[in-house]
Amino acid sequence: MRVEIWSDIACPWCYVGKARFDKALAAFPYRDGVEVVHRSFELDPGRAKGDVQPVITMLTRKYGMSEAQAQAGEDNLGAQAAAEGLDYRTRDRDHGNTFDMHRLLHFAKEQGRQDRLIQVLYRANFAEERSVFTEGDERLVQLAVEAGLDAEAAREVLADPEAYADEVRADEREAAQLGATGVPFFVLDRKYGVSGAQPAEVFTRALTQAWDERAPLTPVGQGEAEVCGPDGCAVPHQD
C-alpha cells in the first residue's frame, strides 16, 4: 500500500501531522507493507527566494491578524508540537521560499533518503535557531549530508535551478487535481484522503480501512502453466 503525503517545510501543521502519522504507522501491524512518499506543496509559491521575513510579520500581513493573535497561534502550535514530543521555537522563526527544499527532497527520494531528509528539514526550520532561509545553499547542503546524502551531489542539485523543478510542479498540479487546497494532505492508495494534522487514531483507522479494502488479485486464464518456485522450475518432460 502506498501513502502519499503532500506537505511543505514551512507548514507547522505538516510537522505535527507527520509525527502523528508516524506514530500510527509505527503501531500498524502491516507497516512493512506500506510505502510512504512525500509530495511537494508550496504554501507561498510566489515568494522570491531572497524574500525572508519573521513568521509573525508574515502572519499579520497575510491573514490580517494582530501580532498578539499571531503569537498566540504560535504558542498553541508549540504546545501541540510538544504533545507529540517535538521541539518548536515559538519566537524568532522566519519564513521564506521552500522551492529548493522540495527539489532536494525529490533528489533524496531517488537515493532512498526522502523521509530522513524531510525530518531533518522540519527540525531545522521549527526547532533550531539557525535559519534554513538566510544562509544560502550551504545550509541546505549541511542538512542534506545529515540526512545521508552526498554533499557534492546535493550542491549540484541546488546549483541547477531546473534540477527536479518539473517534479515539484507536477506534484503541485496533482494536488490541485485531487482537490487539496491545504496541507498536510494524506492519500492512501489513491482511494482515501485525510486532510490536516489529524490525531494518530484517525490515521490508524484510515490505514486499517485502506489495507482491508485493497482489491485482491483477479486470476486471468485457466489451467496451469509452468512456474518457478522454492523447489525449482517446472521442466516439461521430453518423450
Which region among 2-11, 106-115, 118-127, 227-236 has the lowest average model confidence (pLDDT)?
A: 227-236
pLDDT band at 229 (very low <50, low <70, confident <90, very high): low
pLDDT at residue number 214: 85
Q: What average pLDDT does this structure show over 10-17?
A: 97
198-223 tens-digit pLDDT: 999 999 999 999 999 986 656 675 55
CA distances (Å), 71 to each of 57, 76, 214, 231, in order?
Answer: 10, 9, 44, 66
79-111 tens-digit pLDDT: 999 999 999 999 999 999 999 999 999 999 999
Is pLDDT of 116 > 70? Answer: yes
Global pTM reads: 0.89
Task: Please name which of 91, 106, 147, 121 lies closest in space to residue 15, comparing C-alpha atoms.
Answer: 121
26-53 tens-digit pLDDT: 999 999 999 999 999 999 999 999 999 9
Q: Over pLDDT 70: what percentage of the chain?
A: 90
Q: And the C-alpha cell for 73? A: 497561534
Q: And the C-alpha cell for 218? A: 483477479
pLDDT at residue number 130: 95
236: Cβ contacts below 8 Å, ≥ 6 apart: 226
